Amino acid sequence: MLFVRQATTPGTRSACFPDDQAADPASLAAAMPLGAILGPYVRPRPGSDPCIGPCVGPTPGASYGSASGPASGQALGSVSGAGLGQAGVAMVAPVAAARQTATAMGLVPVEVAALREAEAGRWRGLPYAEVARREPDALARWLADPHAAPHGGESRAALHARVARWLDGLPATLSTIGPATGPATGPATGPATGSASGSVIGSATGSATAPPTAPPTGPRVVVCDVGVLRAVLAHVLGLDVLRAALIDFAPLSTTELTAATGGWRVAHVNRKVRS
Classify 11 as helix, strand or coil. helix
User: Does 119 have pLDDT greater than 70?
Assistant: yes
pLDDT at 261: 83
What domain count does the chain have? 1
pLDDT at 253: 97
Span between the terminal Cα atoms of the chain, in Å: 21
With CA atoms as reference, report the closest residue to 235 among 149, 169, 168: 168
User: Does 91 have pLDDT greater than 60?
Assistant: yes
Model confidence at 83, in pLDDT bands (50, 70, 90)? very low
Q: Which of 96-100, 159-163, 202-206 has the lowest mean pLDDT?
A: 202-206
Q: Which of 79-88, 119-128, 149-158, 240-249 has the lowest mean pLDDT?
A: 79-88
Question: pLDDT tens digit string along 37-74?
Answer: 887 787 544 444 433 333 332 222 233 333 333 333 33
Which is higher by pLDDT, 121 or 180? Answer: 121
pLDDT at 194: 38
CATH of residue 78's domain is: 3.40.50.1240
State percent of the chain over pLDDT 70.
Answer: 65
Mean pLDDT of the chain: 75
**How many CA within 13 A on the CB side of residue 47?**
5
β-strand pairing of 254-260 with 2-5: antiparallel
Model confidence at 275, in pLDDT bands (50, 70, 90)? low
With CA atoms as reference, report the closest residue to 29 among 105, 107, 108, 109: 105
What range defines the domain where residue 17 resides? Answer: 2-271
Other residues' Cβ atoms within 10 Å of the Cβ of residue 36? 14
User: Does 176 have pLDDT greater than 80?
Assistant: no
Which is higher by pLDDT, 218 or 17? Answer: 17
pLDDT at 174: 56
pLDDT at 43: 55
pLDDT at 259: 85
